[in-house]
Chain A
Amino acid sequence: MPEKVLLVDDEPDFLEVTAERMEARGMNVVTATSAEEALDIISKESFDAVVLDFMMPGMDGIKTLRKLKGINPDLQIILLTGYATIEKSVEAMKLGAMDFMEKPADIEKLAAKIKKAKTEKMVLGEKRSAERIQKILEDKGW
């Protein structure tokens, strides 16, 4: 099954070409040009990974990351940035970003991270299912 990815960047030219290249690699890509649009999409659809530009008009990457995680704590978010500083990387990872890549990014490395994100999401999904089953077993006293 193809990886379903939400690609968020305020540069339409970047979105168009990157989405085309990701789709050529078998991914199913939805794009958003603002943090607000991304938040709206995330509240309605499920994704294996979100590739998020760190610096966008209106809402910075950290704030967007926080809001995305607020909607879905299991979201696998890969941050893209024009300048990757150690401080920002640490802050982003602490807030739950899965990974951090500097622009211009290598699409093959990005694709590998997206595959990893899908695996992480599946592991988290299985863990949540196991927790739910355990809770039912405990509640019912079986």
Chain B
Amino acid sequence: MTTLSRVKPPDQEARRNERQFVGSVCASISHEIKNCLAIINENAGLMGDLALMAGQGRPADPERQARIAASVQKQVARADQLVRNLNRFAHSGDIENRPPELAASIAFVQTLFERTATNSGHRLETGSIATAVVACAPLVLLQLLWRLLLAGVERADGDVLTISAQVAGPQAQIHLQVQSPGTEIQPPPLPDALLDLAHAQGGTVEQVPASGSLSLRLPLKGGDS
């Protein structure tokens, strides 16, 4: 197992990385909302088309109208959940002094990352997740987990990425199991943005070269490290 770390980056770089992370999450959510709006827009258009046809003497089809209404309701519920996620994400920056619970943060990042994973042909699965509170700001933990998943997607050969977490002494250990292309292919280097941010929190990122799997260690709240 190789432990990799870098010296602390300048604050400017850390801020740029955080902006880039926030931008990526917002772009992904807004894209999904646009997809919902596109379907609602098409259904509204179809209602208009059908109304026009009814005006020209074609009999109305109540079953078709009910299906249109159901489709719109489905998209409204989907968009509502997306906006809730966006709102929760936006407020994660407001509660800097409240150390985040690991399981809830992992579940939330999985939700936020779902589209990125799907677009790159991957599926996220969850292993066992220990109950733990991590000694960093909520937005920082979200960024670390997001970047861990991104690094996993970049090196994954298979389509499934499994995330699990356990407590090891004074640290939380978040493990991302990735199917690698094999030992003969060198995995790409870990991204500086992930290494730097983990280091700044007193943590480390490790990778098992043979499997390409990643492990993020972070100090627990009230831990000794």
* Residue positions of A touching B, CB distance < 8 A: 11, 13-14, 17-18, 20-21, 24, 55-58, 60, 80, 82-83, 103-105, 107
Contact = CB atoms under 8 A, between A and B. Distances in A.
B27 A20 contact: no
B35 A24 contact: no
A104 B34 contact: yes
B42 A17 contact: yes
Contacts of A58: 119-121
A83 B31 contact: yes
Interface of chain A: mostly helix, strand, loop or mixed: loop
B34 A83 contact: yes
Contact of A104 (B32, B37, B118): B37
B71 A82 contact: no
B14 interface: no
Given A58-B119, A80-B38, 13 more contacts: A17-B42, A17-B46, A21-B42, A21-B45, A21-B46, A55-B31, A57-B119, A58-B121, A82-B34, A83-B27, A83-B34, A104-B42, A105-B41
Given A17-B43, A21-B46, A56-B119, A103 B38 contact: yes
Interface of B: 27, 30-32, 34-35, 37-43, 45-46, 49, 53, 68, 71, 74-75, 118-121
B46 A20 contact: yes
B119 A55 contact: yes
A83 B46 CA distance: 23
A135 to B, nearest CB: 43
A83 B30 contact: yes
Contacts of B34: 82-83, 103-104
Contacts of A11: 35, 38-39
Contact of A24 (B43, B49, B71): B49
Contacts of B120: 58
A61 B34 CA distance: 16
B75 A13 contact: yes
B182 to A, nearest CB: 22
Given A103-B38, A104-B42, A13 B71 contact: yes
B100 to A, nearest CB: 30
